[in-house]
Amino acid sequence: MLIRKKVEIVNKLGLHARAATKLVQLANQHNADITLIHGDSSAPANSVLALMMLESSQGKTVEIVCDGEDATAAMEAITALIKNKFDESE
């Protein structure tokens, strides 16, 4: 099942190394192909470097695309992580 959702990056530092690492670790727990899209660029959610190359800063919107048997659970988990500011205390 393929699902898409747009989410605003709300943490102060955006999708930096620590946040990208948390996202990759979370994505790897799900049986789904997960991609983040920002503008004309996209990155697989299992690559810290690719996620950082999106340059998604605070206030920017990314589209999350999940495909696979775990797509719904993956989408819920990743959306929650982003909305919770990657568990960072700012």
- Candidates 59, 73, 76; CA nearest to 15 is 59
Catalytic residue among 3, 10, 16, 21: 16
Asked whether the CA dihedral 5, 63, 21, 46 is positive or negative, the reply is positive
Residue 38 annotated as catalytic? no
- Candidates 53, 56, 48; CA nearest to 20 is 48
Q: Which residues are catalytic?
A: 16
